[in-house]
Amino acid sequence: MKDKERARRQDEAVVARDEKDLVGLCREMRRGGITRRHFMERALLLGLSVTAVGALAGACGEGETPAPEGTLPPMDETKPSEVTLYNWTDYLDPAIKKDFEKAQGIKVKEVFFASNEEMLAKVRAGAVGYDVIVPSDYMVSIMMKSGLLEPLDLAFIPNYELIDASFKNPAYDDPEENNGLQYSVPYFYGQSGYVRRTDKITEELTDWPPLFDPANKGKINMLDDERECLGASLKSLGYSVNTTSQEELDAATTKLVEQKPLVRVYDSTNMKRAIVQGQPLVHCWDGDALMAIDALGGDDEAKALVDFVRPIEGFIMWTDNLVVPAGNNSRYGAHLWVDYLLDPKVMGKNASWVWYLAPSTASQEFTDEFALSLMPTEEEQARTEIILDVGEFATQYSEAWRRVKSA
C-alpha cells in the first residue's frame, strides 16, 4: 500500500509539473516568444495526444493576434528601483552591484541556489520575481522548453557583440533552432576535474580511476551534483556525459554506488575549504582550485600544493549563462543588468574576483593574471564535453542519481 501511495503522489507531482510547463508554454506563445509549431512540439513531449495539443494551442491563441515568427514584444523602458539576481554563491564581485547602482540608479538583490536542479525546482514550483538567473548550459535548454524563460532583446545588450564567437549560438540555445530567438548569453565558463593535494598524495595523477580506488577510502570528496558525478563516472568508462544508452548509464550508476563508501562527503559549496583543510582528492571546478591556492597564500608554495587534474579520458566543460525568467519584475532592468555584466571592463573585474574564465577575450586585459592561470591549453580544451539536455531521458539520470544517494 505504501508503494502504491508513493507512486500516486509521484504521478500527481509529475502532472502538476507538466501543467505548470503547459501554462508557461501557453504564455510564451501568446506573447510571441515561441511559435505555434514549437508549442506543439514541446507539448507533445509532455505526453499529450496530437488532438489535445491542437485544441490547447487553439485555446492559448484565443483572443490574441498571432505574433510574427521571431518577433519580440516592445520593451517598457521604465527603470526599476531594484533587480533580483538568482545566482550561485560567491559568483559575483559585490563591488559590481554597487558600481551598477551608481551607473544606473538600480540596486541589485542577490538570492542563491546550490545546484541547477534546486533552482529549476523552485522556479517550476512558481517562484517569481527573479529578474536574471544564472543556469548552466543544459539547464538553459530545459527552462526554455518549459516556457520558463523570456527571449532576450539583443538591441538592449550591445556588449553581447564583444563575446567570443565560439560562445555564440551554442547547441543548448541556438537561435536557428528557436525561431530566430535567443534566450541566454554566456557569463563564465570553466572545467570540472579534481584537485590532488600533493602533500597528501605524492604520485602524479592524470585520470579518473583514483576517485574510484578503494585505497583512497575517506580521502575523496565528490560534487553533490547529478550530471557532474554521473558525468565523471561516464567519462571514466569511456562514455559520453550525454549518453542516452540505459546500459551505459546503468554501468556509470553502479560504479558510483560502489564508490559511495569511499566518499567522505558530497558537497558543491565547500570545495575550497576542503582543499585548504587538506582533503587529498576533491572533485571540483577549476575556480575552486584557484580559490584554494589563494587561501593557502597564493605563492609558488601554495600553487605546488594544489594540482588541478583534467583527466585524460575527457572531462566536462561548462558554461554558466544569464537568462531572464518569465515572471520577472522588470524586463528592462534585467537587460540593463545583463549588458552591464558583459562589459569587458566589468567582466575582467568580475573574473578577477570570481576566478572563473570570462567568455570574452576583450576582458582579459582587465583581468588579474592569477585568474587566468588555469586557462586550458588547446589540447586540454579538445578533451572537453558540454553537458546537454537529454530530453525525456533526463528522468533516467535523476533516477540514477537517486539510486546513488540512497545507496
Summarize pLDDT for 55-74 with one digit per residue, the tens. Answer: 555 556 544 444 455 678 88
What pLDDT does 69 receive?
A: 53
Three cell numbers written together for 401: 542519481
- The percent of residues in the chain predicted with pLDDT above 70, rounded, is 83
CB count in 10 Å sphere of residue 120: 18
**Sequence-ordered alpha helix ranges (H) in 216-359:** 226-236, 246-259, 271-276, 286-295, 300-305, 331-341, 344-354
Q: What is the mean pLDDT of residues 72-88?
A: 95
Q: What is the mean pLDDT of residues 283-305?
A: 95
pTM for this entry:
0.76
Q: Strands 185-197 and 281-285, how do they pair?
A: antiparallel
What are the residues whose beta carbons fall under 8 Å from the beta carbon of 11, sequence distance 6 or more? none
Residue 244 has pLDDT above 80, yes or no: yes
Residue 3 has pLDDT above 50, yes or no: no
CB count in 10 Å sphere of residue 128: 11
Helix axis angle for 50-61 and 36-45, nearest 10°, is 140
Residue 242 has pLDDT above 60, yes or no: yes
Residue 283 has pLDDT above 70, yes or no: yes
What pLDDT does 21 receive?
A: 58
Domain extents for the chain?
Answer: 2-61, 82-189+319-376, 190-317+387-406
| DSSP state letter for 170 | -
Q: For the segment 109-143, what is each residue's pLDDT rounded down to a tens digit?
A: 999 998 898 999 999 999 999 999 999 999 999 99
Let me know if 226 is exposed, middle or buried by CB neighbors in 10 A (0-12, 13-18, 19+): buried
Query: Per the CATH hierarchy, to which homologous superfamily does domain 190-317+387-406 belong?
Result: Periplasmic binding protein-like II (3.40.190.10)
Q: Would you say how long the chain is, in residues?
A: 407
Higher pLDDT: 301 or 24? It is 301
Nearest alpha-carbon partner for 315 in 376, 385, 237: 385
Residue 16 has pLDDT above 50, yes or no: no
Spatial contact of 267 and 221, defined as CB atoms under 8 Å apart? yes
What are φ and ψ of residue 274, in 5° steps? -60, -40
What pLDDT does 78 receive?
A: 96
What CATH number matches the domain at 82-189+319-376, 3.40.640.10, 2.60.40.10, 3.40.50.10470, 3.40.190.10?
A: 3.40.190.10
What are the residues whose beta carbons fall under 8 Å from the beta carbon of 108, sequence distance 6 or more? 82, 83, 84, 85, 97, 100, 101, 337
Q: What is the mean pLDDT of residues 335-354?
A: 97
| DSSP state letter for 111 | E
Can you give the C-alpha Rg of the chain in angstroms? 22
Mean predicted lDDT score pLDDT of the chain: 88
